Amino acid sequence: MATQDTCCTIVPYFEVPEDQMSAFKSLCEQFVAKTENEAGCLYYGFSFDGNEAHCREGYKNADALLAHLDNIGDLLEQALQISELTGLEVHGPAAELAKLKEPLADLPAQYFSLEYGFRR
Task: Give the mean pLDDT of 23-37.
Answer: 98
Domains and CATH numbers, the chain: 8-113 (3.30.70.100)
pTM of the full structure: 0.94
Query: pLDDT tens digits, residue range 35-84?
Result: 999 999 999 999 999 999 999 999 999 999 999 999 999 999 999 999 99
Residue 76 class from Cβ within 10 Å (0-12 exposed, 13-18 middle, 19+ buried)?
middle
- Indicate the pLDDT class of residue 1, thresholds 50, 70 and 90: very low
User: Which amino acid is it at 60?
Assistant: K
- Output the pLDDT for position 4: 80
